[in-house]
Amino acid sequence: MIKIMISLFLSLLALPAMAANSAPAKGYNPANLQLASVSAMVVDADTGEVVYQKYSDIVKPIASLTKVMTAMVVLDSKQSLREVIRFSQEDRKAINNYYSRIRMGSELPRGEALRLALMSSENLAAAALGRNFPGGTSAFVAKMNAKARALGMKDTHYVDTSGLSHHNVSTAADMAKLIAAAAKYPVIAEYSTTTTHTANFRRPGYNLAYVNTNSLVRYQRWDVAVSKTGYLNEAGRCLVMKANVDGKNLLFVMLDSFGKTSPIGDAGRIKRWLETGKGGNVATAAQVYQKKKVSEYLAARTTASIR
């Protein structure tokens, strides 16, 4: 039995990075596309066709990609975006005292807090949105999980509204469903692609300038309809987008990339592959990181299958 287990494990490790979970775009070989992301998926938003996928079934922490679901629950609830909400110590506690420039006790319209959460990944804003919900944060998180189930996101689970908990998990396949649904909300499309914004707080009155965390949006290098970035140590660098490439509306999901700009680089490699059939190269450090993560996943999957 031990020999069989070792043999199975080694055979899985020997698989090429794409072979375990890939689907080719028309006319192009997925083996020609190298990505820094451990898990990825590209879907035609209009037809639902899977253009490319790589380990899209790995359940991983999703960091601030969580805020896309937070936005949908806020909008589904029909709470007024003009209603003023106050930032409290309870919100700071909810994000484990993570740094925020927002002053305790100050106020902002709900819609402004939602914009900051989406465009600039403001964690305190996301926490306040959950707390200022009928039934509070626990009721809000329950709505997040119910929405995930309704969208068929079977491998997704939320425990907070900001994504600072590594227990917020999903897969690239589920995240593609999330972005497809989020793109139907005009408010999410607008707020998530806002390049820069100045928020005017009350009590006390002060202003804070914010920028979009996605440089592809910020410098308008792509035609992006929906965007969200994310980062945690446990999640790596993450990026989801709906963008138009060569006349096609595509859903992009990149999870667990090594290096601050790796998801942006992966988006560029995917775009190049779609246009030319060639994806470009990935830095050695990112390749090492990726192989380590994939090996861990395959080992865990092998152990689970034997049990």
Q: Are 10 and 25 in contact (CB under 8 A)?
A: no
Cα–Cα dist 72/132, whole Å: 15
Catalytic-labelled residue, pool 56, 100, 121, 170: 121
The pair of three-digit structure tokens given for residue 209, joined into one six-digit string: 């300038």
Nearest-Å Rg of the Cα atoms of the chain is: 20
DSSP class of residue 202 equals B
The answer to whether residue 162 is catalytic is: no
DSSP 106-159: -EEEHHHHHHHHHHS--HHHHHHHHHTSTTHHHHHHHHHHHHHHHTT-TT-B-S
The question of whether 39 is a catalytic residue gets the answer: no
Comparing C-alpha atoms, which of 294, 271, 290 is closest to residue 28?
Answer: 271
> Within 155-237, where are the H helices?
172-182, 186-192, 215-218
**Residue in the structure block whose two tokens are 């999410």:** 188
Distances (CA, A) of 261 to 37, 61, 166, 239, 264: 11, 19, 21, 10, 5
Q: Could you say which of 37, 39, 54, 67 is catalytic?
A: 67
Residue 80 known to be catalytic: no
- Catalytic pick from 64, 100, 162, 170? 64
Dist CA 167 CA 76 (whole Å): 24
Catalytic residues: 64, 67, 121
